[in-house]
Structure 1
Amino acid sequence: MLYPNITAEPDTGRTLGKFGIMAADYLKENYYSRYRSLIRFGRLTEVLSKVEEEANQLLEQIMEKYLKSHKPKDPASTMEMWEIREQGQRLAEEIVLHQIVNKYH
């Protein structure tokens, strides 16, 4: 009996971060056929790496704008600075989630 010679694509060594994993979950839950197609053709990591990169760039831009517009009353206060950064991080992640991660790739 003849069996097909099936080989897997070599792993590129790229690992996905938070936003790449979230985008993969979103694709898997909402666009399963697209998700399976990307896996089948070995392009899932490539596509999600681009999503990860774009998401991180937008996150940095939003955080930079937020920190410029929300100055602490007491710059020496560690807790106040932490609160401002946490609020900015949550706001930026929410925006990134809706604008980049949760869209059809």
Structure 2
Amino acid sequence: HAKPQETILSLAAEAGSVEDLELEDVMKIGYKDIRCVESGGPEPGVGCAGRGVITSINFLEENGAYDGVDYVSYDVLGDVVCGGFAMPIRENKAQEIYIVMSGEVMAM
């Protein structure tokens, strides 16, 4: 799309709350119907980024984002101690987990 991905949390902040958003506001649909959503998070040192993961996944579930989808990929930070990042694992939202590591700034 050549457009920056807007995040659920930034749009929720602008709208007043996540309940004021529609799925179409946050989801970009691309090649072969690949759907992309970016959770977002607080500014560094402010708030809990893991909370953004929890809020985003709950929003996506409540709005049917997973309906008719064969695969879901979560790309989360691995160097954060916050338990919110483990939420997809804790609540059995993942059947398989792959850990990708690299010495580069961006592993994926």
Scaled by the length of structure 2, what TM-score is found? 0.23
Larger Rg: 1
| Structure ranking higher on relative contact order (CA contacts 8 Å, 6+ apart) | 1
